[in-house]
Amino acid sequence: MTLTIDEHRFALVTELELQKAIRLHYPVSILAILPDPEGDGEVADPPRLAGQLARVIGLVIRGTDLIRLPTATTSLHVLLVDAQFEQLQGIIQRITEEIGRRTFQINRERRPVRLSLGGACFPSTASTLRDLLAQAELRAQEARRRSRW
């Protein structure tokens, strides 16, 4: 079962994992996930939607990976231990397909959610945690601009 943790613990664990990856020479990847629910209106409880999404995402990633649950937004981050940059597209596809098969409780109705995902990998695209997060978020924003409902 994949572990979901808060933003503070995610930052600490990710930094420790990155330091370990430097010493032991293995890759660490980060995915940024931006959900876009179908329909109009704001999501009344963004962390609740993020929790629903995290439960589904946890079904298709490894138990050694971590999901960061936000406290005020719907955006998620996933730490993928020992995942090469070349593997990210397959992981993104599995997550997108699984989320696409479901609807989620948003406000008072069940609605589909489209995800915009972006990823980065140490050491192939980034050398620091800050770079990993910035690159993953930038790629997720670019994906969001390319595909709207």
Distance CA(15)–CA(108), nearest Å, equals: 38
Number of domains in the chain: 1
- Do residues 118 and 31 make contact, with C-beta atoms less than 8 angstroms apart? yes
Distance CA(28)–CA(71), nearest Å, equals: 24
Segment 97-118, tens digit of pLDDT: 999 999 999 988 899 999 999 9
Give the domain extent around 40.
Answer: 3-146
Give the domain CATH number at 130: 3.30.70.270
Segment 43-98, tens digit of pLDDT: 888 888 999 999 999 999 999 999 998 887 888 999 999 999 999 999 999 999 99
pLDDT category at 1 given cuts 50, 70, 90 is: low
DSSP the chain: --EEE-HHHHHHHHHHHHHHHHHHT--EEEEEEEEEESSSS--S-HHHHHHHHHHHHHHHS-TT-EEEPPSSSS-EEEEEET--GGGHHHHHHHHHHHHHT--EEETTEEE-EEEEEEEEEETTT-SSHHHHHHHHHHHHHHHHHH---
- Above 60 in pLDDT, residue 149? no
